[in-house]
Chain A
Amino acid sequence: MELIVSSAIGLMTAAAVYLILQQRTFPIVVGLTLLSYAINIFLFSSGRLVIDKPPIIGGADAYTDPLPQALVLTAIVISFGMTALIVVLALRGFLETATDTADLPEDDFPDETETGT
């Protein structure tokens, strides 16, 4: 069990790092998603791996640590929102610039004519 969990975390993280290092937005988004999966499983394991026990203190003789579950729940919600945002951002960027590279164009002068006041 420990081997399965840890190798799953390791493999997903490795794949995520590889994808994030690409220069295109879609692989980066997928990489970030994989990374957040890996980290959610990692957070679970921070409360020790326990099988078939409820995450409730006082309800049974043995229990699994409830706090990591609460943390993972929060982390899932946050990463879900973030993924939605970055997908929209990548799409908007692609539609406006017709390219999906993640780097910034090289120019010394601002291409926008807007200013304040």
Chain B
Amino acid sequence: MTAPHIATSWIIAPAILPAITAAIMILVRRRDIEMQRVLSVASTVALLGIALFLYQAVSDGETDAYRLGAWPAPYGIVLVIDRLSTTMLVLTAGLALAVLLYAIAGWDRRGRHFHALFHFQLLGLNGAFLTGDLFNLFVFFEVMLIASYGLMLHGGGAKRLRAGFQYVAINLIASSLFLIAVGLIYGVTGTLNFADLAVKARAVAANDQALLQTGALLLLLVFAIKAAFVPLHWWLPATYAAASAPIAALFAIMTKVGAYAIIRVFGTVFGDGAGAETLGAVAAPWVVPAALVTLAVGTAGLLGARRLLDLAAFNTIASMGTILIAIGLFSVDGLTAALYYLVHSTIAGAALFLIVDLIAARRPNKLDALVPCNPISQAPVLGALFFLVAIAVVGLPPLSGFIGKLMVLDATYDAPRAWLIWTTILVASLMMTIAFARAGSTIFWKTDGQTTGPGWETASKTPMVVVAFLVGASLMLAVFAGPAVKALHATAGQALDTQNYVNAVLGPQENTEPERPITEPADEATTVPVPADTQVEEH
């Protein structure tokens, strides 16, 4: 067992805080939108603070576990933090704060319970990053998805309902597959705890290997649906284009949950020789080719986009492709590049959705269609912001996308078929540049007639500040790329270190853990309330 750490009891806070906030908002502050906004922002700021605190607490490389109800690890529920999960927590909280400030400028009035759903969504996201076992990953996925259904439909409208039905149906099918995978893995190994699974998967009998691999590949399929892998990406453009802008921006982190789950399960749990030579490697042959096709399809979608929102949605797919190429290497360098690109693309992708919304709001007739229109108000500022966001997204210097792509290229230098990966990434970048240049020039240059949209006096300044803040974050990520890459390199190393994770959760061990069922505590500090004298009468 790890030494008691100052942060241990705070691990559960990122899951509990949004839950309490959301409950208060439903029960007490239902009618009072101003109060909801204050509470919502205060709670999100607190969440960011807690996330930063946890990040700091594990920045020495320690992996920390919180055992709910003090049940020892493989039998109770554990929440685990390490560098990877705290990085994701900080990213989520930061993005949530930006999106919330943007939404407060008007979007949150369009339907009821925006703020409550928003915090339930944060609960699901944070829970998914914290959880230490497979079934709770499923549960938190569901929490996240239920809230996202509500948020996606937020604002109503026939088109949104239709797209929402598809989104819900596809995710229900994905959830079913998840349960099948959970059942298969539990049936073979008898455990769902990540750390325990990492140990037990190595000792699986040879004739059960096929079942375990099937379970693992089904899991990969589920995460691929979440991450919008080709050919499982078809739900994404319709959903994101139908969702309201701040929600689509928040959803930028939802695809990344799929990427996180792939890293966690196939990097940490099944990686490092788990299941003899087979299980850790079972995902690898699929990830890189699918990621390449994902990038190609995303780029093709960008070129074919006739609306700005399609541009933003297909950009999400293309950026997931780039991330997954780097993840698919399952090496420390690859993962470092993937994490850097993940952070960058979350920020830049969200900024893109928000700037698209700002532009559409100023084109009352054409909205976000890529057709010539009247000049829009505040064109210089919006144009500059769009230009910067496009630079970040496409991966041109000086913003973070350039360094991200460079790192991905560098990491794939020695990979098999590196020429194919390099060609795809470079050609895709060129195509993306063309797509964004075309969009920008159509909207800002091919204009005619009277200026439309609100003037400086009436327009709310907050949304633009938020977008500028996100662009600034991308710039900071590029300026401080050195320290960032160093931290992410350590994160990647830790994420691939299965033994460290196992030791932190189960305690140092020599692979002598007893078979299930268990009647003795595996942890010296806690006692297990085994229902030993429960008498059950046979009948």
| Cα distance, A93 to B165, chains bound together (Å) | 8
| Cα distance, A116 to B164, chains bound together (Å) | 20
CB neighbours (8 Å) of B149 from chain A are 85, 89
Q: Are A115 and B357 in contact (CB under 8 A)?
A: yes
Contact of A59 among B164, B192, B531 (CB under 8 A): B531
CB proximity to A under 8 Å, residues B235-291: 238, 244-246
Given contacts A108-B307, A116-B361, contact A58 B531 (CB under 8 A): yes
Q: Are A32 and B172 in contact (CB under 8 A)?
A: yes
Q: Are A102 and B166 in contact (CB under 8 A)?
A: yes
Given contacts A46-B187, A67-B186, A85-B168, contact A92 B532 (CB under 8 A): no
Interface residue? B23 (CB, 8 A): no
Q: Are B169 and A28 in contact (CB under 8 A)?
A: yes
Output the nearest chain B residue to A48 by Cβ-Cβ distance: B187
CB neighbours (8 Å) of A81 from chain B are 146
CB neighbours (8 Å) of B159 from chain A are 104-105, 110-112
Query: What is the minimal beta-carbon distance from A92 to any residue of chain B, in angstroms?
Result: 5
Given contacts A58-B534, A60-B536, A109-B367, contact A96 B238 (CB under 8 A): no
Query: What is the minimal beta-carbon distance from B179 to any residue of chain A, in angstroms?
Result: 5
What string of 1s and 0s marks CB contacts (under 8 Å) between A80-117 and chain B?
Answer: 01100110011011001100001111001111111111
CB neighbours (8 Å) of B164 from chain A are 89, 93
CB neighbours (8 Å) of A43 from chain B are 179, 182-183
Interface residues on B, range: 35 or more
CB neighbours (8 Å) of B192 from chain A are 67
CB neighbours (8 Å) of A86 from chain B are 165, 168-169, 172
| Cα distance, A104 to B158, chains bound together (Å) | 10
CB neighbours (8 Å) of A58 from chain B are 517, 519, 530-534
Mark the stretch among B104-112, B222-230, B325-333, B505-513 that contacts chain A.
Answer: B104-112
Q: Are A82 and B146 in contact (CB under 8 A)?
A: yes
Given contacts A57-B519, A102-B165, contact A116 B157 (CB under 8 A): no
Q: Are A56 and B173 in contact (CB under 8 A)?
A: no
Given contacts A46-B186, A89-B165, A105-B162, contact A59 B367 (CB under 8 A): no
Q: Are B180 and A114 in contact (CB under 8 A)?
A: no
Q: Are A60 and B538 in contact (CB under 8 A)?
A: yes
Interface residue? B184 (CB, 8 A): yes
| Cα distance, A78 to B178, chains bound together (Å) | 13
Q: Are A93 and B238 in contact (CB under 8 A)?
A: no
| Cα distance, A104 to B192, chains bound together (Å) | 39
Query: What is the minimal beta-carbon distance from B342 to any residue of chain A, in angstroms?
Result: 26
| Cα distance, A43 to B532, chains bound together (Å) | 26
Q: Which 8 interchain pairs have the tightest Cβ spacing?
A: A46-B187, A59-B536, A46-B183, A115-B361, A93-B161, A57-B517, A96-B158, A54-B536
Given A82-B172, A116-B245, 16 additional A-B pairs, CB 8 A: A32-B173, A39-B176, A39-B179, A45-B183, A58-B534, A59-B536, A60-B536, A71-B186, A85-B146, A89-B165, A102-B165, A112-B159, A115-B360, A116-B463, A117-B358, A117-B459
